[in-house]
Structure 1
Amino acid sequence: MENIPYAQAYKNIRAIELEEEARAIRENIKPRRASMHSTAGPDIKILYTPINNEIGVVFVGEDGAPPANRDIIVYPHSQPTHRISYLSCHLEPMIYLILFPNGEKSWHINMQHRPEQQTRVRNKVIMQEYHSYRLAIRDSFSIIHRSGKLFQAIKVNIWLNGSFSKE
């Protein structure tokens, strides 16, 4: 992890938890706790064991659609927290460190086609093209296809971002 730029730049959840505990001691208050709840079973205080090992996504929305804003909050070292858009080229490398070990950027709005593939009308790579290229099966080794459940997670993330919907 020491060679991965995003792992060095941002705090992990344990660091945030330790800061919260220190704040609670300083202010003589009870620390805030993060928790997970499930309403799938009869007792909402119990986090039930998944019945299968596939990765999925569940939304609770008024119209059944994914939420429009899926931005994340990051905690940089020695800086205030800030929001990163789900369309940021830094988001996937931060979430999937092992798939972007050198901090390579992911798709972004201004990503250009290679000059030999540009036309007068189309010169930018759309999200669907980028992810289709990343997910394509090739004869050479592919870390993304060998990443097991992480591969499933990134596919769910791609679906959430609407990369296979018409843009």
Structure 2
Amino acid sequence: MGSLLPIGNESPKFAQLYVYDTYNEVQNRLKAFNFDGKNGRLDERIVQELIKMFDELNELVKLFRTARDKFETNGLMNLRMTLLGRQPNDGKQYDEPTSDEIGGLIVGDIGLSDSNRDIIIECKSEGLKRVTKLNPKFMALQYPILFSYGEDGYRPDLKWNQNYKGPKTKRQRVPMRAYIAYQIQEREPRLTMLLKGGRLFQQYLVNSYATVEEDRLDYIRQNQKNLRSEIYKGIYDAISRGDNDANNLGQKIVLSASYTRSPRYMINNYQDAMAICREYGHLDLFITFTCNVKWPEIIREFEKKSGYKPEDRPDIISRIFKMKFDDMLDFIKSGQPFGEVDASKFHKRFFFIIRLFSNFWFFF
């Protein structure tokens, strides 16, 4: 997040477009995407209608417009804006937000109102300020079209619904991964704006994945003692990679084997696979299972959704892939195609699968 006003003679960008030189806002927005004169497909009328929609519906935009009014009338150059990181009432999670619950304008020193999860926007400042992923307005600020009301996103103290019957965490709070999975589910009779985002929805999914991974890494970083990382001194790791420099030894942040795709995760899977090979011999099949967007199940699903392309709904593609993958595993384990399996985690004489680089090994 940058400042409310641009520095020097710079053109306004991002949130500054809501505050600075709003009389020419349409042209400023078009210029931001057509600075080289090569993008001639931008429609000025669509931009005008989007600005009108945000001014009427989006509470975040209304807060920025309030800052604009203050600058135009009083010229307050020490004005700051704060976006609150904690909401006062959990019961209003799914209600439309109001401006007084989001934040406010402060003249002069912020003082004790500052919080590590609040977003403090200065009047003029160089550089960008990092916005924590735990702020409830994190996604609404980045994707105003997908969250047109400026509604809340994930926050750490979000509670489970009282009627929820599925597995819950020990803390009785909704984890970030579960919240995002809930957001991208289809709910009849209508689809949410999020699922209609096209390429913007793809970008949202990538951003959400990176946010979840960052949250997992933050937990590991902050809970090293609880993860029993004191048993890792770095000596065995250094020997395994041939490091003879004692200055490089020591304990830093340890990624446990439970973190998917970490070095210890890969080594553990490799050692498990070699142990199975020593017991049952070399593998018989090495199968790579891939997805085809021309599968009849995928084509049939998109026939119900006119205007969509397979790349617009990666959630549907991944779900169908998972169902067909599970069906393939059940078919192999049934013994019909290759006979009884010799190794499995589910029977005494069983079959074993290890997932490395999207490949699957089978032992019979």
TM-score (norm 1): 0.51
Gap change, CA 1:7 and 1:79, over 3 Å in 2:
farther
2:192 corresponds to 1:142: yes
Query: Which structure would you say has the larger Rg?
Result: 2
Give the letter aligned to residue 179 of structure 2.
Answer: Y
Q: Matched residues in 1 for 2:133 and 2:64: separation?
A: 17
1:87 is displaced (CA, Å) by: 2.1
CA separation of 1:108 and 1:99: change in aligned 2, threshold 3 A: same
| Counterpart pick for 1:5 among 37, 59, 72 | 59
Determine the structure 2 residue equivalent to 1:131: 180
Q: Is the 8 A contact 1:88 1:108 kept in 2?
A: yes
Contact 2:146 2:193 survives alignment (8 Å): yes
SS of equivalent to 2:163: helix
**Structure 1 residues 138 and 163, CA gap change in structure 2 (3 angstroms):** farther
Cα distance change, pair 135–116 in 1 and its aligned pair in 2 (3 A): same
Contact 1:85 / 1:91 at 8 angstroms: preserved in 2?
Answer: yes
Say what the alpha-carbon RMSD is for the aligned residues. 3.5
Aligned residue among 132, 142, 158 for 1:85: 132
Give the counterpart letter for 1:2 in structure 2.
D
Question: Structure 1 residues 79 and 5, CA, compared in 2 at 3 Å: closer, same or farther?
Answer: farther
SS at match of 2:153: coil
Q: Are 1:98 and 2:98 counterparts?
A: no
Deviations 1:106-160 (A, max 9, x none): 0111111112338693521000110000011333222111111110111011011
Equivalence for 1:117: 164
| Structure-2 change in CA distance of 1:108 and 1:85 (3 Å) | same
Q: Which runs of 5+ in 1 are unaligned?
A: 16-70
Alignment of 1:24-103 (within 5 A): 75=121, 83-103=130-150
Change (3 A) 1:98 1:165: same
Query: How is 1:17-28 mapped onto 2 (pairs within 5 angstroms)?
Result: none
Using the TM superposition, give the Cα deviation of residue 10 of structure 1 relative to its aligned residue in structure 2, in angstroms. Answer: 3.8
How many aligned residue pairs are there?
Answer: 107
More helix by share: 2
Name 2:260's counterpart in structure 1: none
Whether the aligned pair in 2 keeps the contact of 1:145 and 1:151 (CA below 8 Å) is yes
Letter in 1 for 2:63: A
Counterpart code for 2:186: I
Residues 122 and 147 of structure 1: CA distance in aligned 2, closer, same or farther (over 3 Å): same
Q: TM-score, normalised by structure 2?
A: 0.25
Distance 2:169 2:177 in 1: 20
| Aligned counterparts of 1:114 and 1:163: Cα–Cα separation in 2 | 25
Paired residues of 2:154 and 2:176 also in contact (CA < 8 A): yes
Query: Paired residue for 2:321?
Result: none
